[in-house]
Structure 1
Amino acid sequence: MLNRPVIVAVALACMTAVSAALACPFCDAPEPSLAEQLSQADAAVLVQWKSAEPANAEKQTFGSTTFTVANIVRQPGADYEKGSTITLDRYRPGKPGDLFLLMGTKIDGIEWGSPLEVTETSFTYITESPGREVPAMKRLPFFLKYLEHPDELISKDAFSEFAAAPYSDIEPIADQFSPAKLKEWISKKETNQTRIGFYGMMLGLCGSKEDAAFLKEEINRPTETYRLGLDGMMAGYVLLLGDDGITMLEEKLAQNTKQFSDTYAAMQTLRFMWQYAQNRVSKDRLRQAMRMLIERPEFADLAIKDLARWEDWTVMPKLMEIYESPSHGSSQTKRAVALFLITLSKKKVPEGDEALAKHVAEAKTHLEDLKGRDPKIVKDAEKYFF
């Protein structure tokens, strides 16, 4: 059972690179793909393990490994040919015939990187993979064929291409995914759990309303531990059902238990829908659901900040109420309320917008009151003004 700080830390760790690079919303931070690494290498050769000398402490050597060149992918000059040997000043265990890919940078000669063990299948995959210079609409379908490939090197690399791709590149090719395969991967226990969220999102983009029942069953499957991918599956569910799908999220938001994973996943789904899929669900429905978390002290500060970004100014009376509430007495909640007031008080009011003008005037009044009562809270909030 995880508390909110742990859930938040896990979620933020998973989303750091996503927010920075606008990559796949429900994927771990992507590693550089093999196609990307290959494109950046000055030299690349397929080699076979020939022999090796282990490190020797007495002789103060790090050992060495000798490979035989089997195929040349790229080289800056006629430095190597098939059958020639390359010896690295490092020990790599192996047996004769084992295949490795060497990639190197031309400095003074070639500085080789660590040998990457491959098979004939994975080597062919690597050399045929389209580089980042190829448009996403043409590049990503190539890697789609290799998701959940039995060769883990291939499967992991193919997924990394989608993990690095922004949502705007992924959505247009959704119809090339198979709903049947996505459901198989989601339900199969052998599937890497870091991929479940992405597969859930894709099922929402390419599936039918009948697939929503499958996702709901997976979402509600009992578990004793924090589940990766809940947010992506929830997003897929809402993508399929639109406003009607928000009802299930509200059920999660209302579960006032010590198991925070479902609640935080539902919150992340609301954020995803707001940022990427407003054509599938109404803004008012998203705001309505997010307001529910104001009632829960452990999530109130996060919800208040989102509602400020979403310009839900009608919630201000409720915020002033909870500011005085003993149950919401944490400094982080009070700072979030102050930040909401600061954000609203700085809004420029278009001519004739009497409703917004009234909200801004009230926010300024409340803010002046807080400056007199809790100047440190307001000062701290000003540091985080977005």
Structure 2
Amino acid sequence: MYRMRVIEVFKGRPKLADSVIEVASIKELPRDATFWIVGYGEAPTEWDSPEQVSTKALSYLRGLSRLPERGPRRLGYFLRFLQHGDELVAADAYNEFAEATLEDIAAVADQLDREWVISQLRDASVPVHRRRLCWTFLSQCGTAADASLFDEMLRKREVDATFDPGMDAAIACFIALAGERGLGRVEQAYLASSDAEYLDSFAAINAIRVHGTQLKVLPRERLAAALRLMLCRPTLADLVIPDLARWGDWSMIDRVAKLFEEANEEARFVKPAAVLYLKTCPLPAAAEALERLRAIDAQTVQAAEASMRFYNGPTTVPVPPPSDDDASSGLQAP
């Protein structure tokens, strides 16, 4: 156990200032250093492991209390700390952007350092979660010529199998910068080709999904046409059928029904996806197709229909805000 003196309270109970607390740490802590620590509860307070912070980090932490809860002004504050030398500060700034919407990131596009973003993408030592964020940055501040960076990263992956380009974000950025030409390449390489690696196809689907819901560089109808190519790959078709239904693309009623009829064990997941597509579709042809499928495999149709009673689509569970009992403090070993 370490005895530490609270020198500043950033959030929580001001009365903790100048008090001495005891905290546990699995690593040896230097004396006469300053630490950041978060506490929970009141009787007694439970403290997280202390994180040593620099003087500059304290300045960063003090600035957090003056920020709005969301929006471009908040992101603008964190933007200048992405290159901070203190890893705690840089990681916290990255995490803020990871939680931001693309709309908010687009609002600070003119403040992004394009050259730094590109250098981060080329740096193999950058963790993949940060590389993915940099692809998002480049989609907002890059030029059409920067689309070639996608091929550069693919070549790097061919040379070094451990290198992860962050394919979903990379493909989304490539489409954003290259437009129709980029989408055509993605279709050919990752959607239409049965030789494409599963993870690359999955990444391409996610990238197109982001474009259809947030980026809006290309019309959703064009993006749906790209996803429809996956219906020629029965073992992966279930990945895109819900997107087609969500986007109201009802042009594939016959094809989806046929996938159900021809599904083998390897493609078994396409069956419930097909039922949900046909069940959601408002067209009479979908209802007729569903009844044909019911005659073929009533049990699967019934199970899929039953699942719709309990699952109406993706849901999110909000994280509760910190209570007044939570305390965040700057600490110094006494």
Q: TM-score range by the shorter chain?
A: 0.7 to 0.9
Matched, 1:255 2:193: yes
The corresponding residue for 1:273 is 211
Q: In 2, Cα distance between the equivalents of 1:108 and 1:320? A: 61
The corresponding residue for 2:22 is 88
Normalising by the residue count of structure 2, what TM-score does the alignment of the two structures yield?
Answer: 0.81
Q: CA deviation at 1:169?
A: 1.7
Identify which of structures 1 and 2 has the higher relative contact order when contacts are C-alpha pairs closer than 8 Å and 6+ apart. 2
TM-align CA RMSD: 2.7
Residues 331, 377 of structure 1: 8 Å contact kept: no
The corresponding residue for 2:316 is none
1:374 is matched by which residue type in structure 2? Answer: D
Q: CA deviation at 1:97?
A: 1.5
1:145 is matched by which residue type in structure 2? Answer: R
- Choose the corresponding residue for 1:366, options 289, 312, 322: 289
**Over residues 68-88 of structure 1, what are the superposed CA-to-partner deviations in whole Å (9 max), with x where a residue is unaligned?**
45556567456644xxx6241
- Choose the corresponding residue for 2:105, options 142, 153, 170: 170
- Equivalences for 1:1-386 in 2 at 5 Å? 64-68=1-5, 70=7, 76=13, 80-81=17-18, 86-88=20-22, 90=24, 93-104=28-39, 107=42, 112-130=47-65, 133-219=68-154, 221-222=157-158, 224=161, 227=164, 229-250=166-187, 251-257=189-195, 259-278=197-216, 280-325=217-262, 330-344=267-281, 347=282, 360-385=283-308, 386=312
Residues 153, 165 of structure 2: 8 Å contact kept: no
Q: In 1, Cα distance between the equivalents of 2:198 and 2:162? A: 11
The number of equivalent residue pairs is: 305
Q: In 2, Cα distance between the equivalents of 1:367 and 1:154? A: 55
Gaps of 5+ in 2: 313-334
**Over residues 197-222 of structure 1, what are the superposed CA-to-partner deviations in whole Å (9 max), with x where a residue is unaligned?**
22112201111111111123224542
Q: CA deviation at 1:103?
A: 4.2
Structure number with larger C-alpha Rg: 1
1:375 is matched by which residue type in structure 2? Answer: A
Q: In 2, Cα distance between the equivalents of 1:242 and 1:327? A: 37
**Percent of paired sites with the same residue:** 27
Residues 142, 177 of structure 2: 8 Å contact kept: yes
Q: CA deviation at 1:379?
A: 0.8
With over 3 angstroms needed to count, the CA separation of the structure-2 counterparts of 1:134 and 1:316, relative to structure 1, is closer
Normalising by the residue count of structure 1, what TM-score does the alignment of the two structures yield?
Answer: 0.71
Q: In 2, Cα distance between the equivalents of 1:110 and 1:377? A: 52
Q: In 1, Cα distance between the equivalents of 2:65 and 2:9? A: 18
Q: In 1, Cα distance between the equivalents of 2:60 and 2:92? A: 10
